[in-house]
Structure 1
Amino acid sequence: MKKIIVPVDFSDYSERALQTAAFFAKEQNAEIVVVHMLELSNAVINQSQSYIQEEAVFYMKLAEKRFKEFLNKPYLEGIKITPIIKHFKIFSELDVLAREEEADLIIMGSKGTSGMQEIFVGSNTEKVIRHSKTPVLVIKEEAITSSLKKAAFACDFSDDDIDPLLKAEKLFSTLKCPLELVYVRTPYVKFKSTKELNERIKLFLHKLQDSGLTEDKIHVVSEYSIEEGLRYFVTQENVDVLVVATHGKKGFTHFFEGSISEDVANHSNFPVLSFKI
């Protein structure tokens, strides 16, 4: 791991993300790129060009001042920090920035959203996960400040899981953290009998025979929903990070079908790492 991107809004949630990034950076000798996006209102944008420039300069100076205070933390000592300020709050830009910077990981703090706000607005977390080709680690209530003991990859043993799983294995191997697989069997959605599931697992393992993955690292949980099953497993097994793969659905497809990966990342209070399929 060479470079980590952390979007911040100077909140407690973004500081937890920064603390987590600092821990990983020290472990991996990596650089942190800290990004703040200016929220210019439509009223400002619709003004004259000169007025926009004046407002942008004002908010830029304010952001620079807050950056200086926000980054003055003991846990950042000895780490190369690069602060970047963006003019507009367009979260698809984070993926562009991550690729330009050749970043290995985006770490962001989130308190999540729910109800009508989630339906019509969505959370910044979901927007980043949806657009980003770079892995996104979402931090909620507590920062990661010590070595990871266990990570779990949410899997349905489809071909779509293979590439994200291999990428996750590579990342967690650098962190010296074991990665296990969890499958949630529900009574309603794509239910599989024990025989069907075992055959699917065997075929999946055959395709990954060079990875060292074995049946003893696979766990099956039965629950009424995938989200609830994953939360139960993480809690019961003391999992430090849950890993999910996402297609990054957009537009009406996302509105009507949703995304389990985004929902888990948004609603859970434990760290969730997403990889784009």
Structure 2
Amino acid sequence: MKRILVPVDFSEYSIEALKVAAQIARKNNFKIILLHLLELPHQSSDAFGNVNSIPEIVFFKNKAIEKLEVLMDSPFLQGIEVLESIEFKKVDEGVVDASIKNDVDLIVMGSHGTSGFNELLVGSNTEKIVRYSEIPVLVIKKGVKEFKASNFVFASDFLKETRKPFRKMLEFAKLFDSKLFLVTICTPSSFKTTSATEKNMNDFIAHFDIENYSTHIYNDTNIENGIINFAKSVNADLIGMCTHGRTGLAHFYNGSISEDLINHAIKPVITFKI
């Protein structure tokens, strides 16, 4: 892991995410790429072809440059190599494109979370990025002043398809010398016997050279509640899981546990794409 991408809109949520990224970068001698996305209020397919829009584009870009320069002088970034980038794109598209273009290893984002009717209608840019990104995404909630991953809960069904993201998770855990709590959540709608679940987890783990871990089976009403409640029970610093990145009707009907989790969990959440 060498480069961290941090999308910033200069809100308190994105600044707190940047502070966490700085802690990770300083500890491991990584670079940070600061990305600001500009979506003009009346941006349309021909906006850039309209001569009247040019002054507005220049104005917004210059303001963004000023704010980025001030941000880059922040004491918590001193001694860290920081690059800056400004793009005229939608946030979700811009972040995913920038992560590929800059060959980044981790995206760190802030999120205030949403719930209820607002969540159904609007969603969040963070949700979309978690859904589409091939790069691990670390979501930071307000109030995380000192980032730790000493107790790292990783929830999974531990099927063969999760081996690749599991390796990425192990790389991240190694950076923080994390104790891993590997957990499978059993619910009334996805019940498996303890013996079958234990065998599945043990067979999966046998493919990896892994230390400082424990395995757990946790029962709850649904998977999201199970992950959150288990994380509380072991005083977790960080929650990790895989995401399928479903879109369209499959996403509408089935939902995404990882996206619900980033909205409702208080702890930081990191997702790894299958």
With normalisation by structure 1, the TM-score equals 0.92
Q: Give the conservation status (yes or no) of the 8 Å contact 2:150–2:176.
A: no
Identity of aligned residues (%): 36
Aligned to 1:265: 262
What are the residue-to-residue correspondences of 1:117-266 with 2, within 5 Å?
Answer: 117-143=118-144, 145-188=146-189, 190-206=190-206, 208=207, 210-212=208-210, 217-266=214-263
**1:108, distance to aligned residue in structure 2 (A):** 0.3
| Paired residue secondary structure (2:218) | strand
| Paired residue secondary structure (1:42) | coil
Q: Give the conservation status (yes or no) of the 8 Å contact 1:23–1:144.
A: no
Following TM superposition, the consecutive aligned residue runs of length 4 or more in structure 1 with deviations greater than 6 angstroms are none
What are the residue-to-residue correspondences of 1:41-120 with 2, within 5 Å?
Answer: 41-42=41-42, 49-120=50-121
With normalisation by structure 2, the TM-score equals 0.93
Could you tell which deviates more after superposition, 18-27 or 141-150? Answer: 141-150
Counterpart amino acid of residue 154 in structure 1: A
Could you tell which deviates more after superposition, 67-76 or 36-45? Answer: 36-45
Structure-1 separation of matches of 2:111 and 2:172: 22
RMSD: 1.9
Residues 72-130 of structure 1: CA deviation (Å, up to 9, x unaligned):
32111111111111112241231221122111100000001122222232111101101
| Paired residue secondary structure (1:244) | strand
| Paired residue secondary structure (2:200) | helix
* Residue 274 (str. 1) matches residue 258 (str. 2): no
Alignment gaps of 5+ in structure 2:
none
Structure-1 separation of matches of 2:52 and 2:256: 41
Residues 157-182 of structure 1: CA deviation (Å, up to 9, x unaligned):
21122211111001211222222211
**1:226, distance to aligned residue in structure 2 (A):** 0.9
Q: Give the conservation status (yes or no) of the 8 Å contact 1:169–1:179.
A: no
Count of matched residue pairs: 273
Counterpart amino acid of residue 255 in structure 1: F
**1:136, distance to aligned residue in structure 2 (A):** 0.3
Counterpart amino acid of residue 5 in structure 1: L
| Paired residue secondary structure (1:274) | strand
| Paired residue secondary structure (1:91) | helix
Structure-2 separation of matches of 1:211 and 1:53: 56
Structure-1 separation of matches of 2:91 and 2:71: 22
**1:61, distance to aligned residue in structure 2 (A):** 0.8
**1:144, distance to aligned residue in structure 2 (A):** 5.3
**1:147, distance to aligned residue in structure 2 (A):** 4.4
* Residue 2 (str. 1) matches residue 5 (str. 2): no
Counterpart amino acid of residue 6 in structure 2: V
Q: Give the conservation status (yes or no) of the 8 Å contact 1:184–1:221.
A: yes
Q: Give the conservation status (yes or no) of the 8 Å contact 1:13–1:141.
A: yes
Q: Give the conservation status (yes or no) of the 8 Å contact 2:187–2:220.
A: yes
Counterpart amino acid of residue 217 in structure 2: V
**1:205, distance to aligned residue in structure 2 (A):** 3.1
**1:203, distance to aligned residue in structure 2 (A):** 2.8
